[in-house]
Each structure stands twice: as C-alpha cells, then as structure tokens.
Amino acid sequence: MKRITVINMKGGCGKTTIATNLASMLAALGRNTTLMDYDPQGSSIYWLKHRTQDVGEINGIAAYPANQAVIRSWRLQPPQNTDYVIVDTPAGLKGLDMIDQISGSDIILIPVLPSSIDTHATADFIRDLYLIAKVKTKNIRLCIVCNRVKPNTLSFHALERFLDVLDIPVIAKLRETQNYIKASECGLGIHELGSKSSEKDIEDWHQIVNWLDTERQSQCNL
Ligand SMILES: Nc1ncnc2c1ncn2[C@@H]1O[C@H](COP(=O)(O)OP(=O)(O)O)[C@@H](O)[C@H]1O
Ligand SMILES: [Mg+2]
C-alpha cells in the first residue's frame, strides 16, 4: 500500500482537483484506491458522492472531524487490499499539524500554480518539509505537479526557473481547462468525461501514474 499525500500550504492550488483525478485514474487502471479527505470542507468526499456506479470504484474516508466528534482510529484504516491511498489535505498546515498530516506518507505530491505568490508560498512550504518535517530522513519522496499551466506565459517561465533550482521531480504540467471544472461537478476524473478535447490532458495523467508506479516498485525493492 502506498500513501500519497497531496499537500501545499497554499489554498486553491489544485489539491482536490489532483487528488480526485489521481484517484479516478488509478481506479480506472484497476488499482484498489482509497481517497481520504482531511479537509473540513470535505470537497473530495462531496465529489465522491456524485460518482456513479459505472466508473472505477473508489473507497472514500472522510477523515476530517465530523461535528467535532473524535474519529475512531479504525475508521481511518483503508481496506487491507488497497494499492494506493490518496490523501487530500486542507490549506494552511504548518508546524506540528503539517508533520502529523504527512506522517506515514510514502510520497508527497505538491501542486503549484504559476504565480509569484504561489511560488513564494511553495518555496517556504518545501523548506519546512525538509527542515521541520525532515522528509529526507523519513525517506518520504517529494514530487511536484504544476497546475493551471498556460505555456509561453511569463508566469509559467518564472515558475520553471524556480523549479529548475530544486532537486525535486516535476512529474506533470497540467493545463488550465474547463474540463477539470466540468468533471469535478459530476464526480468524474477528466479521463472519464469522454471528451475529445481532454486527450492531451489524459496523457499527463498516464505520466503521473507511470511515475508513481515506478516509484512504488523501486521503494518495494529497497
Ligand atoms: N487545471 C485546472 N484547470 C482549470 N481549473 C482548475 C484546474 N485545477 C483546479 N481548477 C479549479 O480551481 C479551483 C481550486 O482548485 P482545488 O482543486 O479546489 O484547489 P485546492 O483543493 O488546493 O483548494 C477549483 O474551482 C478547480 O475546479
Ligand atoms: Mg481542496
């Protein structure tokens, strides 16, 4: 079982979009997938409730405290046969809350938008992951997904320059497209829309899954 936590201190960078699309892509490819939602807004669980039975099945766990009640730890356990646990997280996690949230992760997937405010916040967040959460000593791998990319824009080139100096794999650059919004409204991944205009975007998701599968394989071999 591999646990992938989708996290960035910054809100609105695409954590839920990436968590839900990744879960649906993995499910469509036959991986037993659990989607855990730690964000009190519950957007991933809301998305899951709109999913119909004819698409790949995803097990959902609402991990945020519901009605202030303490969640029993057994309710946070994914089923035994799970291949991937995808964790959606709230924005703004720092210090001990952030350390708690990433504990047990194999991979931390960091979405980042091409804007100077987002780049700045992401730089601080990555520094905290290394210095405070000590991801390197815990053997947690980091990867980055650029989101809402508009190629050939100054802001995207600035983001590329920032990413060039980091030693973290950039595993995909997702386009900005209304198809993500359409898919999110009906509990689907972009690949499940059946839209011809999504073909290029679906390739991005295959690239993400390939990277995760290869990483999973190499961690199993350690
Ligand atoms: N690649 C994209 N193209 C178009 N809209 C997007 C894209 N990624 C995210 N969005 C939209 O941006 C908003 C914020 O994304 P969301 O995934 O909810 O961010 P977060 O979970 O980090 O707060 C949502 O309305 C979502 O549909
Ligand atoms: Mg969200």
> Nearest CA to 27 among 188, 198, 221?
188
CA of 160 to the centre of ligand 1 (A): 20
Please, what sign has the CA dihedral across residues 168, 169, 174, 180?
negative
144, β-bridge pairs? 110, 170
CA of 219 to the centre of ligand 1 (A): 30
Which residues are close to ligand 2, an ion, with C-beta < 5 A?
Answer: 15-16, 43
d(CA 120, CA 217): 33
Using a 6 Å CB cutoff, which residues line ligand 1?
11-17, 43, 91, 147-148, 174, 176-177, 180-181, 184
87, β-bridge pairs? 5, 36
Residue 64's SS3 state is coil
Asked if 143 and 210 touch (Cβ cutoff 8 Å), the reply is: no
Per-residue pLDDT of the chain (222 residues; tens, 9 = 90+): 999 999 999 999 999 999 999 999 999 999 999 999 999 999 999 999 999 989 999 999 999 876 445 566 667 889 999 999 999 999 999 999 999 999 999 999 999 999 999 999 999 999 999 999 999 999 999 999 999 999 999 999 999 999 999 989 999 999 999 999 999 999 999 999 998 999 999 999 999 999 998 887 777 766
pLDDT of residue 65: 74
Mutate to test the pocket of ligand 1, among 64, 181, 191 (most ligand atoms within 8 A of CB): 181
List the residue whose alpha carbon is closest to atom 20 of ligand 1.
12
Neighbouring CB atoms inside 10 A of 189's CB total 28
pLDDT of residue 218: 77
Nearest ligand for residue 198 CA: 1
CA of 13 to the centre of ligand 1 (A): 6
pLDDT of residue 154: 94
Type of residue found at 77: Q
Enter the CATH code of domain 2-220.
3.40.50.300
Asked if 182 and 193 touch (Cβ cutoff 8 Å), the reply is: yes
pLDDT of residue 216: 74
d(CA 63, CA 80): 17
Helix axes 116-131, 95-102, angle to 10 degrees: 80
d(CA 51, CA 24): 10
d(CA 67, CA 204): 38
| DSSP assignments along 99-160, one per residue | HHHHTT-SEEEEEE-SSHHHHHHHHHHHHHHHHTS-TTTTT-EEEEEEEEE-TT-HHHHHHH
Q: Please report, for the chain, the start and end positions of each structural domain, with discontinuous segments joined by +.
A: 2-220
